[in-house]
């Protein structure tokens, strides 16, 4: 199976292309609703982003001089798009109003707006939520330690730092995905990254102007996770997932599955956009329960629902620890994951901020309330592939926010997923 383009890299490719001098050509862009919202936003700010073929886009940049947005920038369900673009817009001195759907409007924005205000950004928002009004301002560098491990927060600060005066330092206690740092270097930015304990220190002195380059987006390990877990829990399965990004900040799920006894082989396949990629061969396996430490969360924060599905078919009781950050996702993803399993007869309970799952056979037959969360919907459908009674979900439309081809790809691998009128 060809893995769809990585969502995180796709967002950043569009944003950095829009900030750069010249025209960037992007191949393999994920054409999901979330990413298309970012493409629309950069176009409204004066960049020219256009599709020239399936997954192939060009972005004519602004040289770091965004225009004021004449109408609100609507990011739909995309927290990544909204938060990264806040940093990018602040750094250019432009003005824009940020809005989103009901789910996104319930998610915290203060973790991004607070450091931007420290840099000098003029921001108005109510109760730490969208809508957010960002007005033209002049920024200065700051020395900042995010209170929560978040690649979105770090990235927003670094994008703002491109237009700020002086040095900006971001100190991470726990290293998060580093796609922004990698791609900034591809666009010619001057920044340094050094390790410190379990974290990193990133330094960037502004102002800087980026230079456009061509990019090939690697496959998304978060999207590949659904087919991988399906192959592991369905007897006789043997699947190859092509060109999956293997950045260590994104492979926590695969490390956890390997510890559970998963038969997964990584076959190196070169690089794309500065990221290592590999073809993954995944074969059906008898999994064992895992006691998973919270420190691994930044490298698999989006994959816990589908990991929980794997745990439901594993031998023994798994404990997934320290999942408080899941409560600030598209839904309360911790509660939604537990409810998904319980609705289908799997033994799952929440203990503080941990999720306990006792594996075995899953009766199935339940209807899952997705709360508009694409990853809950996809994880539930994977659960249904191996459950005795199948599983239904209340909505699949939101899957297009991150993985429009999910049902087609899974069907091509042999899954039976039907839409009910």
pLDDT of residue 369: 97
Can you tell me the distance from the alpha carbon of 302 to that of 222, in angstroms, rounded to the nearest whole number?
A: 7
Q: How confident is residue 183, by pLDDT bands cut at 50, 70 and 90?
A: very high
Can you tell me the distance from the alpha carbon of 146 to that of 152, in angstroms, rounded to the nearest whole number?
A: 11
pLDDT at residue 346 tops 80:
yes
pLDDT of residue 126: 84
Hey, is 151 helix, strand or coil? helix
* Residue range 3-18: mean pLDDT, rounded: 98
Cα angle, residue 59 at apex, residues 57 and 64 outer, rounded to 5°: 155
Is the distance from CB of 140 to CB of 169 less than 8 angstroms?
no
Domain boundaries, the chain: 7-216, 221-412
Is the distance from CB of 382 to CB of 226 less than 8 angstroms?
yes
Class (C level, CATH) for 7-216: alpha beta
pLDDT at residue 396 tops 80:
yes
pLDDT at residue 298 tops 90:
no
pLDDT averaged over the chain?
96
Q: Taking Cα atoms as reference points, which of 83, 65, 223, 218 lies closest to residue 153?
A: 83
Can you tell me the distance from the alpha carbon of 184 to that of 17, in angstroms, rounded to the nearest whole number?
A: 10
pLDDT at residue 421 tops 70:
no
The CATH H-level (homologous superfamily) assignment of domain 221-412 is Enolpyruvate transferase domain (3.65.10.10)
The tokens describing 245, both together, are 């990004």
* Residue range 111-139: mean pLDDT, rounded: 95
Hey, is 108 helix, strand or coil? coil
pLDDT of residue 67: 97
pLDDT of residue 343: 98
* Residue range 187-203: mean pLDDT, rounded: 96
Domains 7-216 and 221-412 share a fold: yes
* Residue range 222-249: mean pLDDT, rounded: 97
Q: Taking Cα atoms as reference points, which of 254, 246, 247 lies closest to residue 229?
A: 254
* Residue range 394-417: mean pLDDT, rounded: 95
Can you tell me the distance from the alpha carbon of 78 to that of 327, in angstroms, rounded to the nearest whole number?
A: 16
pLDDT of residue 325: 86
pLDDT of residue 307: 98
pLDDT at residue 201 tops 70:
yes
Lowest mean pLDDT segment, chosen from 138-147, 261-270, 295-304, 308-317: 295-304
Residues marked active site are found at 302
pLDDT of residue 2: 95
* pLDDT tens digits, 63-96: 999 999 999 999 999 999 999 999 999 999 999 9
pLDDT at residue 379 tops 80:
yes
pLDDT at residue 290 tops 90:
yes
Packed helices 110-118 and 79-92: angle between N→C axes, nearest 10 degrees: 10
pLDDT of residue 90: 98
């Amino acid at each position: 199976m060809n893995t769809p383009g990585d969502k995180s890299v796709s967002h950043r490719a569009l944003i950095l292309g829009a900030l750069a001098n010249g025209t960037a050509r992007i191949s393999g862009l994920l054409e999901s609703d979330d990413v298309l919202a970012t493409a629309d936003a950069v176009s409204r700010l004066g960049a020219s982003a256009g599709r020239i073929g399936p997954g192939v886009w060009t972005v004519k940049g602004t040289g770091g001089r965004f225009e004021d947005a004449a109408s609100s920038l609507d990011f739909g369900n995309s927290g990544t798009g909204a938060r990264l673009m806040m940093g990018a817009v602040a750094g250019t001195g432009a003005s824009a109003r940020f809005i989103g759907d009901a789910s996104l409007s319930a998610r915290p924005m203060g973790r991004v707006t607070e450091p931007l205000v420290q840099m000098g950004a003029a921001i108005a928002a109510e109760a730490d939520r969208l809508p957010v009004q960002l007005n033209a301002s002049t920024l200065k560098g700051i020395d900042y330690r995010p209170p929560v491990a978040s690649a979105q927060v770090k990235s927003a600060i670094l994008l703002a730092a491109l237009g700020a005066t002086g040095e900006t330092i971001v100190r991470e206690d726990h290293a998060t995905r580093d796609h922004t740092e990698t791609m900034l270097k591809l666009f010619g930015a001057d920044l340094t990254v050094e390790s410190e304990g379990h974290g990193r220190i990133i330094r960037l002195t502004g102002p800087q102007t980026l230079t456009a380059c061509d990019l090939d987006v690697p496959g998304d390990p978060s999207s590949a996770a659904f087919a991988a877990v399906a192959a592991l829990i369905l007897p006789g399965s043997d699947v190859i997932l092509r060109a999956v990004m293997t950045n260590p900040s994104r492979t926590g799920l695969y490390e956890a599955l390997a510890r559970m006894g998963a038969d997964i082989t990584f076959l190196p396949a070169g690089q794309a956009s500065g990221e290592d990629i590999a073809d993954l061969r995944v074969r059906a396996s008898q999994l064992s329960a895992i006691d998973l430490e919270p420190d691994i969360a930044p490298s698999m924060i989006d994959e816990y629902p589908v990991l929980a599905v794997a745990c439901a078919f594993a031998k023994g009781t798994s404990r997934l620890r320290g999942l408080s950050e899941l409560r600030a996702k598209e839904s309360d993803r911790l509660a939604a994951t537990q409810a998904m399993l319980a609705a289908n007869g799997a033994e799952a309970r929440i203990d503080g901020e941990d999720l306990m799952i006792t594996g075995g056979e899953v009766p199935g037959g339940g209807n899952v309330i997705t709360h508009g969360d694409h990853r809950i919907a996809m994880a539930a459908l994977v659960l249904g592939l191996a459950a005795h009674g199948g599983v239904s979900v209340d909505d699949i439309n939101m899957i297009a926010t991150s993985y429009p081809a999910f049902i087609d790809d899974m069907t091509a691998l042999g899954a039976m997923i039907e839409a009910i009128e």
